[in-house]
Amino acid sequence: MNVLVVGRGGREHSLVQKFVESDQVDRIFAAPGNAGMSQMAECIDTSEQDFDGLVAFARENNVELTVVGPENPLLDGLVDAFQEADLPVFGPTKAAALIEGSKHFAKQLMQEYEIPTAGYEAFSDVEAAQAYIKEKGAPIVVKADGLAAGKGVVVAETVDEALSAAEDMLRNGQFGDASREIVVEEFLAGDEFSLMAFVNGTNVYPMIPAKDHKRAYDGDQGPNTGGMGAFAPVQELNNWSYAFAVEEILKPVAAAMVKEGRPFTGILYAGLIETSVGPKVIEFNARFGDPETQVVLPLLENDLLQVMIDVLDGKNPDLTWSEGVCAGVVVASEGYPGAYEKRRPLPEVEVAEGGFVVHAGTAWEDGKYVSSGGRVLLIGNKGEDLAQALDRTYQSLRPFENQSDFFYRRDIGRSSVSSAAPHADVE
């Protein structure tokens, strides 16, 4: 079979790496792909937003399954375009992707179907929003309704900070259309984790839980980023919380989407906070997480193509997972998530057995890899436990240790190593 992966980041490279393992796959196309993907897929020089071009390409090249990685084409209806053309595609329609595209929609849905989440109000009027913020006090969270490239959430520690966030978004149009409306919600304290599931209508097949590290610098300091590293599974999460997240969050929300006439097919991603009364939702995404995918898929024992075919056919894909833990650390361009230089040469990386390199912002120039984005690549490895997975990963990061053009977090997973295995340091 021929498959087409739409996207150009680490998540999509990871999907391509998984498809390579499938006996059923003949040709893999990536649109537009990246330098890493071009080693194992045929990259097509097109944009994720060129729907007509992608549909025509899929038809002409006998693509039997298209998988859409990023949120923007999903929200703009790329899956609908494929369905209208009668081409097999894995991902949610525009109507279903609204669960990521509008925070207000997602909050209303959760409220109506009693899915645990932070208390909230939505506003388009700045005075009303500010009165509500003053009434509730800090800490409090202010969110742009629409997509704002990961920058639309302000976790305000003071009332003043929240008031000015509301002002920037509603009065000053900080995120354009995406902040015509805002959600103001209760601050939730607790550990975060991500839970993704393959979904088709009311059928929900959960993956292993993962933990992302969103802040740029060690100790969870600095600005929010797309994600600086991840590991899976999250062993400190107890079985009760995992079961709760599946039974009381993922399954009811999938059923709610069917009831609302927006049945969801694809990957449903729940960003969760483990509060003192159990997991609550911070956000839903309508796609694979990045970098969670890069550490979850290496532990999936099934053929990913068969899983997607089964899910689309309404069959249980019987997901099975390897023992052990997978970790991944992102190497970013110095300055990211702010301004950074591109076209900086990358040192050679050697990964130990079981290790892998996932490209995100790289290009191939004059016979070598150079950087072309903020998040450049992710280096990962598996281990019997988190400590071993991390040790192996950090060994492979050595070539980047003294590179002034790049940086990476030194503490991915560290706080979980000590809480999951308190004996590790003693032995």
Residue in this structure with the two tokens 């500010």, named with its chain if needed = 130
Cβ pair 5, 67 in contact under 8 A: yes
User: CA dihedral in degrees (388, 389, 393, 395; nearest 10)?
Assistant: 10
Q: Does 100 bind ligand GLY (CB under 6 A)?
A: no
> Between 292 and 321, how does the x/- string for binding to ligand GLY read (CB under 6 A)?
x-----------------------------
Nearest to 232 by CA among 186, 190, 288: 288
Binding to ligand AMP in span 219-238, by CB under 6 A: 224
Among 85, 128, 155, 159, binds ligand AMP (CB under 6 A): 155
| Min CB(223)–ligand AMP separation in Å | 11
Among the listed ranges 36-44, 121-129, 181-189, 285-293, the one in contact with ligand GLY (CB under 6 A) is 285-293
Q: Does 285 bind ligand GLY (CB under 6 A)?
A: yes
Retrieve residue 186's tokens.
């209760």
CA 286 – CA 111 distance, rounded (Å): 19
Residues β-bridged to residue 370: 345, 363
What residue type is 70 in one-letter code?
P
Among the listed ranges 147-155, 303-311, 316-324, 374-382, the one in contact with ligand AMP (CB under 6 A) is 147-155
Burial class (CB in 10 A: 0-12, 13-18, 19+), 423: exposed
Q: Per the omega criterion (within 30 degrees of 0), is the bond before 139 cis?
A: yes
CA 268 – CA 374 distance, rounded (Å): 26
| Min CB(164)–ligand GLY separation in Å | 25
CA 26 – CA 379 distance, rounded (Å): 27
Among the listed ranges 63-71, 149-157, 352-360, 396-404, the one in contact with ligand AMP (CB under 6 A) is 149-157
Nearest to 35 by CA among 347, 416, 269, 373: 373
Among 48, 145, 168, 185, binds ligand AMP (CB under 6 A): 185
Q: Does 212 bind ligand GLY (CB under 6 A)?
A: yes
Among 283, 334, 385, 411, binds ligand AMP (CB under 6 A): 283
| Min CB(126)–ligand GLY separation in Å | 28
Angle subtended at Cα 85 by Cα 83 and Cα 88, rounded to the nearest 5 degrees: 50
Helix (H) / strand (E) containing 329: strand 325-333
| CB neighbours of residue 205 within 10 Å | 18
Closer CB to ligand AMP, 189 or 339, in the complex? 189
Residue in this structure with the two tokens 């040192």, named with its chain if needed = 347
Q: Are strands 191-200 and 203-206 parallel, antiparallel or unpaired?
A: antiparallel
Tell me which of ligand GLY, ligand AMP, none is bound by residue 227, counting a contact when its beta carbon lies within the kind-specific cut-off of 5 to 8 angstroms. ligand GLY
Closer CB to ligand AMP, 185 or 290, in the complex? 185
Total number of residues binding ligand GLY (CB under 6 A)?
6
Q: Does 191 bind ligand AMP (CB under 6 A)?
A: no
Among 92, 101, 289, 413, binds ligand GLY (CB under 6 A): 289
Torsion 277-424-207-197 (CA) sign: positive
Binding to ligand AMP in span 81-120, by CB under 6 A: 118
Phi, psi of 96 (to 5 degrees): -80, -35
Tell me which of ligand AMP, ligand GLY, none is bound by residue 153, counting a contact when its beta carbon lies within the kind-specific cut-off of 5 to 8 angstroms. ligand AMP
Closer CB to ligand AMP, 26 or 157, in the complex? 157
Tell me which of ligand AMP, ligand GLY, none is bound by residue 155, counting a contact when its beta carbon lies within the kind-specific cut-off of 5 to 8 angstroms. ligand AMP
Closer CB to ligand AMP, 46 or 224, in the complex? 224
| Min CB(287)–ligand GLY separation in Å | 8
Retrieve residue 52's tokens.
């007509």
Residue ranges of E strands in 372-423 = 375-383, 406-407
Tell me which of ligand GLY, ligand AMP, none is bound by residue 192, counting a contact when its beta carbon lies within the kind-specific cut-off of 5 to 8 angstroms. ligand AMP
**Which residues of the chain form contacts with ligand AMP (CB under 6 A)?**
118, 141, 150, 153, 155, 185-188, 192, 214, 224, 271, 282-283
